[in-house]
Structure 1
Amino acid sequence: MLKTFIKRTAYTVAAGAALYSSVASAHLQMVYTPDLLRDRGGQITLKMPFTHPAENGHVMTVEKPEQFFVVKKGKRTELLDSVKPAKWTSNENTGESYEADVKLRGLGDYVFVYQMAPYFEKSEDLYIQQITKSIVNVGSLPTDWNEDLGLKAEIVPLTKPYAIYAGGTFTGVVKSEGKPVPFAEIEVEYVNYEPDMQKNAFAKEGKINVPADAFITMTIFADANGTFTFGIPAAGQWGFAALGVGPDKEHKGKELSQDAVIWVQAHPVK
């Protein structure tokens, strides 16, 4: 895990000038819908680009996901057949992506899990595979949000990920197949450029101005029990990626970083 962190950090510094406008840039698999807390159910669309949301960065082309399912009231429903190809546009490029239309039926938590196909990052000479959770709640009725699903790489929330005030905190436990991962390194990014659901693109202008490049991708560490807490300063969606915590370490003869990702949403205090 430390080897992967060092390698990926070295890549970020070395390749930043060539590929991106900032010194630090996290890879993050999005499973995005504008509102993670909804009054009613109905049809929603989930946009799933693999990109750099904090800086409106490069959209990476990935093969069709290996898994996509939802857990509600303990029941798992497969959704892979609902995934369809789409384009996604950033300030860097227009890249291949995926999306899915899903119907929410009834109150409670809908825990979406998206396991992307391994992506070869040539500049790092390794594969990246992220297992992403995004939890949509209907009617403020909590059901499954804090369940451990036993995924290969997973962040289990200890805070409702859809019911956080801006200025509050988010706490989670990094796990691999149900076991905590001590001292996991976690990259944190803010969705600073609002996704346009109709245009399949990020907004041209960011919502906040970062004081320095170090704030684009922030790095924190879990404690000895795999637990971390992060203070959330601004309303919107935030992504947390625990690097290299999964058990699979190799793919096609190359190193594999199997990451756990979770998305949370903070709401303004009015």
Structure 2
Amino acid sequence: MKLYTTLMAATAATLLPLSASAHFQLIYTPEAVVESTGELPVKLIFWHPLDNGHVMDMATPREFYMVHNGERTDLLDTLSAVDFQGAENSGAAFRGSVPIRRSGDYVLVTVPEPYHEESEDIYIQQITRVFLNRNGLPTDWPDVMGLPAEIQPLNRPYNVLAGSTFTGRVLSEGEPVAGAEIEIEYMASEPDMDSAATTEPTVTPPAGGTLVALSDANGYFTFGIPRAGWWGFAALGVGPETEHDGKELSQDAVIWIHATELE
């Protein structure tokens, strides 16, 4: 109880406003809890999903794979290039598929090529994870994968209730990162799986700008989830690589969680 109270106090004290929305790498499928077996379609998009903002062009990812029952399956060969249309522009994205065969967790991982952000003249690489589940059997969700940058969930990331909290731990090569800056974004616009389009945003951006939390001395942060849907957390620049093609690289850890209403 003491640890929980400390985490809540630390995070509440360090929520900071930035710009209206943030860059977020997506591995998107509409639902995190999968009902049936088969090939589950997913989309990989680099975008501003809170306000249906600018779409960044993706190159073919360096890695795209899943982990199920501790076994890794490469999914790069399922990817095909597609266009994605946001409100401001269209950009290069990818469509892939995930083979759902048995019960348990399916942890999807994307390691993209670094993206050159011209406005800042830096590169951004967001190593991203999303968690799916079939039949409520937990298998892989809490495992640390030893990625260069990752956020370890301390709540089942596909089983979060709106109005509850989510706690994560920021890691760099498996070690906790103190004072990491974590941008938090709600996916207010959701991609259409059958076209290049997306929905209109269901909320307006918060008046203070992008939500930001700082991890505590042991890498932990906690955030209260106010609304059902997909929530993204991006720990900025926590990976060990800091340069790409002679320019600054922000190697970020991204995790997406899915919240539902208790009915």
| TM-score, normalized by the shorter chain, greater than 0.5 | yes
> How many angstroms apart in 2 are the aligned matches of 1:164 and 1:190?
14
Give the Å deviation of 1:152.
0.3
One of 185, 189, 193 as aligned partner of 1:189: 185
Give the Å deviation of 1:40.
2.6
1:207 matched residue in structure 2: 202
Give the Å deviation of 1:24.
2.9
Q: Root-mean-square deviation (CA), in Å? A: 1.4
Uncovered stretches (5+) of structure 2, i.e. residues with no partner? 1-16
1:17 matched residue in structure 2: none
- Choose between structure 1 and 2 for higher RCO, CA contacts under 8 A separated by at least 6 residues: 2
2:137 matched residue in structure 1: 141
Query: Which deviations, in whole Å up to 9, do the C-alpha atoms of 1:239-264 show, x marking residues without a partner?
Result: 10000000000000000000000000
2:240 matched residue in structure 1: 247
Letter in 2 for 1:238: W
2:218 matched residue in structure 1: 225
1:57 matched residue in structure 2: 53
Letter in 2 for 1:148: V
8 A Cα contact 2:58 2:91, kept in partner: no
Query: Which deviations, in whole Å up to 9, do the C-alpha atoms of 1:38-86 show, x marking residues without a partner?
Result: 2333221111110000010111012110011111111111111111101
Query: Which deviations, in whole Å up to 9, do the C-alpha atoms of 1:129-172 show, x marking residues without a partner?
Result: 01000011011100000000000000010000000111111111
Letter in 1 for 2:257: V
Matched, 1:90 2:86: yes
Matched, 1:256 2:249: yes
8 A Cα contact 1:39 1:140, kept in partner: no
Matched, 1:173 2:169: yes
Give the Å deviation of 1:223.
0.5
8 A Cα contact 1:128 1:259, kept in partner: yes
Q: 1:189 to 1:211 in 2, by over 3 A?
A: closer
8 A Cα contact 1:159 1:171, kept in partner: yes
| Aligned partner of residue 143 in structure 1, secondary structure | coil
One of 23, 35, 46 as aligned partner of 1:39: 35
8 A Cα contact 1:62 1:118, kept in partner: no
8 A Cα contact 2:179 2:217, kept in partner: yes
8 A Cα contact 2:75 2:97, kept in partner: no
Q: TM-score, normalised by structure 1?
A: 0.88
Q: TM-score, normalised by structure 2?
A: 0.91
> How many angstroms apart in 2 are the aligned matches of 1:106 and 1:129?
32
**Pairs aligned (count):** 247
One of 96, 118, 121 as aligned partner of 1:122: 118
Matched, 1:107 2:107: no
